[in-house]
Amino acid sequence: MSGHSKWANIKRKKEVTDAKKSKIFSKVSRLIIVAAKNGADPDSNPSLRLAVEKAREARMPRENIEKAIQKGSGQGGDGVFYEAVYEAFGPNGEAFYIKALTDNKNRTVAEIRNILNKFGGSMGGAGSTSYIFSPNPDTPSFTIQIDDTNLAKKMISLLEELDDHDDVQDVFVNFILPDELS
């Protein structure tokens, strides 16, 4: 008779979707908080307007958006977030450009370093990969083709783990995965 409880099945599915929503909401609310420091009015603050649009796309409740705006404009508590950029290398020299919003830079850099070490990567110094990703991080100046499927799977796992980190907002890379894995 195992699995006979309909509520238990629904509860398990709901826990998974709620966890995903929570991660997305926390990332978007950090964006709103940082953007609201330049003004609490989305009509006069384009970065806040973009952050609010992202929140609406993620179906974030209006109350949560308003709380984040108040927190960022100094009305709702002492949530200070810093923008940080981390540069790193993958196991075979692939370049990573990681943008983060954090309330504790030391904790975040240690956690990102730990994730990279687990997959054979390493942190780079300031400017070590930024030249590859400037002026637009979406289009690196050169790319590396990864043909080994084991390495490609490892890189996908590394990207997923970095993206799952609460403080990490964007991860830019200069490698191209095989078509069957991307």
Looking at the fold, whether 101 and 165 belong to one and the same domain comes out as yes
Contact between 76 and 67 under an 8 Å Cβ cutoff? The reply is: yes
Q: Which of 40, 72, 104 is the last residue of a domain?
A: 72
Looking at the fold, whether 65 and 130 belong to one and the same domain comes out as no
The mean pLDDT value of the chain amounts to: 88
Residue with the two structure tokens 């692939």: 94
Looking at the fold, whether 90 and 154 belong to one and the same domain comes out as yes
What pLDDT does residue 78 have? Answer: 61
Residue 182, pLDDT > 70, answer no
Q: Which of 72, 100, 124 is the last residue of a domain?
A: 72
Looking at the fold, whether 114 and 93 belong to one and the same domain comes out as yes
What pLDDT does residue 160 have? Answer: 92
What pLDDT does residue 37 have? Answer: 85
Here the tokens at position 103 are 């309330």
- Percent of the chain at pLDDT above 90? 47
What pLDDT does residue 161 have? Answer: 94
Looking at the fold, whether 20 and 87 belong to one and the same domain comes out as no
What pLDDT does residue 10 have? Answer: 84
Residue 77 domain-assigned (yes or no)? no
83, β-bridge pairs? 101
Residue 77, pLDDT > 70, answer no
Looking at the fold, whether 56 and 120 belong to one and the same domain comes out as no
- Which of 68-77, 85-94, 131-140, 150-159 has the least mean pLDDT? 68-77
Looking at the fold, whether 10 and 62 belong to one and the same domain comes out as yes
Looking at the fold, whether 122 and 36 belong to one and the same domain comes out as no
Looking at the fold, whether 59 and 90 belong to one and the same domain comes out as no
pLDDT tens for residues 2-29?
Answer: 556 788 888 888 898 888 888 889 889 9
Q: What is the DSSP string of the chain?
A: -TT--HHHHHHHHHHHHHHHHHHHHHHHHHHHHHHHTT-S-TTT-HHHHHHHHHHHHTT--HHHHHHHHHHHTTSS-----EEEEEEEE-TTS-EEEEEEEES-HHHHHHHHHHHHHHTT-EE--TTTTHHHH-S-TTS-SS-EE---HHHHHHHHHHHHHHHHSSSEEEEEE-EE--TTT-
Q: Structurally, how many domains does the chain consist of?
A: 2
pLDDT tens for residues 45-54?
Answer: 999 999 999 9
Residue 1, pLDDT > 70, answer no
| pLDDT, average across residues 103-130 | 93
Range of the domain at 164: 82-176
Band of residue 40 on the pLDDT scale cut at 50, 70, 90? confident
Residue 38 belongs to domain with CATH number: 1.10.10.200
Nearest Cα residue to 25 out of 71, 59, 49, 76: 59
Here the tokens at position 2 are 């195992």
Here the tokens at position 64 are 């949560």
96, β-bridge pairs? 88, 173
Residue 137 domain-assigned (yes or no)? yes
| pLDDT, average across residues 106-129 | 94
Burial of 29 (0-12, 13-18, 19+ CB in 10 A): buried
Residues with Cβ within 8 Å of residue 145, at least 6 apart in sequence: 175, 176
pLDDT tens for residues 128-145?
Answer: 999 999 888 889 999 989
Residue 163, pLDDT > 80, answer yes
Q: Which of 17, 43, 72 is the last residue of a domain?
A: 72
Residue 172 belongs to domain with CATH number: 3.30.70.980
